[in-house]
C-alpha cells in the first residue's frame, strides 16, 4: 500500500475516531444509536446484485430470529449502486448502515471523503471471529493508509483454462510457467483452420486487469512501493511484450476489440487451446447448453513468471459501515455474524459464493458445488497472490486507458518500450493530480 498526501490527514484521524466510536457505543449499549436508551430493531444494507447478496437474503431472517433485528436489503446493479451510494453519502445520510462496495474502484474516493468507518478497532476487539482466516490478498485489498474499511465477502482469481484433450493428444504437459505456456500455445495454434493457441482480453481498458498478473509474475506492477508510476521498468516491458506477443502471434483476429465475453466465446466454441481470465467464468465453460468444451476444459494455476507465482486475487465486493450510521456497533455485530466461519461455509456450499475465508475452502463439505480443479487452486493460493488487478488510485478508468495503451502497441507489433515510457509519463501526471 502507498500513502496519498492528500488523504494522509484522514488516515491519521480515522483510527482514533473509530476507536472513540467503539468506546462510545460500548458505553451507550444502544448498538451505535445516538440515544443511549434506544434499542436497535433494524439495519439497512445497500449492496450489489450477486451470489453473496442472494446468500445475505437467506441469512437475514435467521439473524432476526436470533437477535430480533430485521435486516433490510437494498440491491442494485454495480453502476446504479455506486451512484446511489455517492448521492446518499454526499448528503451524509444515516438512513442505511452497511454498504457493499467495489474496493478497487471506489474505496479511495469514499475514504478520502470520510464516508467509510475504519473497522480495525472492531476487528481487534473480536479475536474469536478470526480475521487472519481471510486470505492475505483479500485482507490487504480492504486496507488503506493504516485503516481497514471493510470485510471481503467475495474473491476472484486469475487462472488458466486449457483443453486437456488437446494437450494429452500432443503430449504437452500442463504449463507451469509463462515460458511453457508460450511454447504450448505456439505448438497448438493453427489459424489456417480457424483454431488459435490462446484467447484473452485484448481491448484497451479491459485487458489491464488480466495484464496485471503478467506484470506481477515478472516482478513489476503498475506502481512502485511509493505509489509512483512504474509501467516502463524493464520487467514491466517484458511482461507487456509477452502479453502482446501471445495475442499478436497466436490469438484470434480482432483481439483488440475483445473484452471477456468475446474472448471467452472463442474458447467456449472450441476454437482456442488456452484461455486466461478470472475463475468466476468457469461455469460459462461447464454450461452444457452453451459450451462445446464441457468435457474437455480443465483448470490450472496462472503460470509462474521469472519472479514466481503472483496472480491477482481480488475482492469484487466488500461490506463496510456507513460513517454516518447511528447504529455502528449493531452494524458491526451483524457483519461479524454474517461473515463468521459457519455462515461463510454455508454461503460457499449453498450459493456458490467464492468466499474469502480459507477455512471454508479447506472444508470438504462446503466445496462440493465448485469444480475440483478450482478448489485446488484456491486452497493452494498461499500468500503469493496480489490483492489488486489495476492501478491503485481514484481515477481508475483513466489509468486503465493509459496502461492499456502500451499493451495495444504490443499486440499491434509496435515499439513497446517507447509506448511504455510514454504511458508511464502520462500515468505519473495523473497520479500527481491526486497528491
Q: How many CB atoms lie within 10 A of CB 297?
A: 23
Give the C-alpha distances (Å, rounded to integers) separating 259 from 195, 206, 232, 255, 423. Answer: 19, 6, 24, 9, 21
Tell me phi and psi for residue 223, to 5 degrees: -135, 155
Amino acid 78: pLDDT? 87
Task: Dump pLDDT digits (tens) for 347-383.
Answer: 999 999 999 999 999 999 999 999 999 999 999 998 9
Domains of the chain: 5-155+314-379 (3.40.190.10), 157-312+390-432 (3.40.190.10)
What is the pLDDT averaged over residues 250-256? 97
pLDDT at 9 over 60: no
List the beta bridge partners of residue 43.
71
What was the pLDDT predicted at 204?
Answer: 98
129 DSSP 8-state letter: G
* Average pLDDT taken over every residue of the chain: 92
- Identify the bridge partners of residue 322 per DSSP, sorted by sequence position: 116
Q: Is the pLDDT higher at 35 or at 317?
A: 317
- Judge if pTM exceeds 0.85: yes
At residue 36 the predicted structure's pLDDT band, cuts being 50, 70 and 90, is very low
Task: Print the SS3 string covering 39-98.
Answer: CCCEEEEEEECCHHHHHHHHHHHHHHHHHCCEEEEEEECHHHHHHHHHHHHHCCCCCCCE
Whose CA is closest to 211, among 383, 405, 421? Answer: 405
CA distance 419 to 300: 32
For residue 435, the model assigns a pLDDT of 87
**In this structure, are residues 402 and 423 in contact, taking their beta carbons and an 8 Å threshold?**
yes
- Cα distance between the two ends of the chain: 15
- pLDDT tens string 268-312: 999 999 999 999 999 999 999 999 999 999 999 999 999 999 999
Mean pLDDT confidence for 324-353: 98
Per the CB < 8 A criterion, the answer to whether 55 and 63 are in contact is: no
Residue 190: how many other CB atoms lie within 10 Å: 12
The DSSP bridge partners found for residue 151 are 319
Q: In the predicted model, is pLDDT for residue 405 greater than 70? A: yes
Gap between the Cα atoms of 108 and 435, Å rounded: 12
Largest CA distance in the chain: 76
Residue 33: other Cβ atoms inside 10 A: 19
Q: Are 229 and 223 in contact (CB under 8 A)?
A: yes
- CA dist., res. 398 & res. 403, Å (int): 9
Phi and psi of 379, rounded to 5°?
Answer: -60, -35
Other C-beta atoms closer than 10 Å to the C-beta of 180 total 15
Amino acid at each position: 500500500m502507498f500513502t496519498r498526501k492528500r488523504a494522509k490527514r484522514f488516515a491519521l484521524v480515522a483510527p482514533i475516531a473509530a476507536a472513540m466510536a467503539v468506546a462510545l457505543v460500548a458505553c451507550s449499549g444502544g448498538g451505535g444509536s445516538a440515544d443511549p436508551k434506544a434499542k436497535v430493531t433494524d439495519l439497512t444494507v445497500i449492496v450489489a446484485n450477486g451470489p453473496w447478496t442472494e446468500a445475505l437474503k437467506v441469512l437475514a431472517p435467521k439473524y432476526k430470529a436470533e437477535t430480533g433485528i430485521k435486516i433490510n436489503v437494498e440491491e442494485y446493479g454495480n453502476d446504479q449502486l455506486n451512484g446511489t451510494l455517492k448521492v446518499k453519502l454526499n448528503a451524509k445520510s444515516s438512513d442505511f448502515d452497511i454498504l457493499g462496495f467495489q474496493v478497487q474502484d471506489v474505496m479511495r474516493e469514499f475514504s478520502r471523503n470520510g464516508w467509510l468507518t475504519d473497522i480495525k478497532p472492531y476487528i481487534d476487539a473480536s479475536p474469536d471471529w478470526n480475521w487472519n482466516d481471510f486470505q492475505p490478498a483479500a485482507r490487504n485489498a480492504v486496507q488503506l493508509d493504516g485503516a481497514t474499511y471493510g470485510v471481503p465477502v467475495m474473491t476472484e482469481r486469475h487462472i488458466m483454462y486449457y483443453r486437456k484433450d488437446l494437450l494429452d493428444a500432443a503430449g504437452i504437459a500442463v504449463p507451469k510457467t509463462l515460458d511453457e505456456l508460450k511454447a504450448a500455445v505456439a505448438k497448438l495454434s493453427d489459424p489456417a483452420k480457424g483454431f488459435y493457441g490462446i484467447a484473452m482480453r485484448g481491448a484497451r481498458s479491459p485487458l489491464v486487469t488480466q495484464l496485471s498478473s503478467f506484470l506481477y509474475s515478472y516482478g513489476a506492477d503498475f506502481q512502485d512501493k511509493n505509489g509512483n508510476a512504474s509501467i516502463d521498468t524493464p520487467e514491466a516491458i517484458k511482461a507487456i511484450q509477452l502479453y502482446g506477443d501471445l495475442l499478436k502471434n497466436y490469438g484470434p483476429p480482432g483481439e483488440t476489440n475483445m473484452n471477456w465475453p468475446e474472448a471467452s466465446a472463442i474458447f467456449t466454441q472450441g476454437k482456442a487451446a488456452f484461455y486466461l481470465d478470472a475463475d468466476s467464468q468457469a461455469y460459462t465453460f461447464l454450461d452444457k447448453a452453451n459450451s462445446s468444451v464441457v468435457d474437455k476444459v480443465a483448470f490450472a494455476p496462472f503460470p509462474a513468471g521469472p519472479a514466481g507465482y503472483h496472480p491477482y486475487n481480488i475482492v469484487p465486493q466488500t461490506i463496510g459501515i456507513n460513517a454516518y450510521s447511528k447504529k455502528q456497533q449493531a452494524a458491526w455485530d451483524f457483519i461479524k455474524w454474517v461473515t463468521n466461519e459457519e455462515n461463510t461455509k454455508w454461503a460457499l456450499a449453498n450459493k456458490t459464493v467464492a468466499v474469502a475465508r480459507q477455512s471454508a475452502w479447506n472444508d470438504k463439505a462446503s466445496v462440493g458445488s465448485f469444480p475440483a480443479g478450482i478448489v485446488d487452486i484456491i486452497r493452494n493460493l498461499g500468500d503469493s497472490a496480489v490483492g489488486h488487478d489495476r492501478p491503485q488510485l481514484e481515477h481508475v478508468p483513466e489509468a486503465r486507458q493509459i496502461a492499456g495503451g502500451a499493451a495495444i502497441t504490443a499486440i499491434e507489433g509496435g515499439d513497446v518500450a517507447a509506448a511504455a515510457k510514454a504511458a508511464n509519463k502520462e500515468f505519473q501526471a495523473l497520479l500527481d493530480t491526486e497528491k
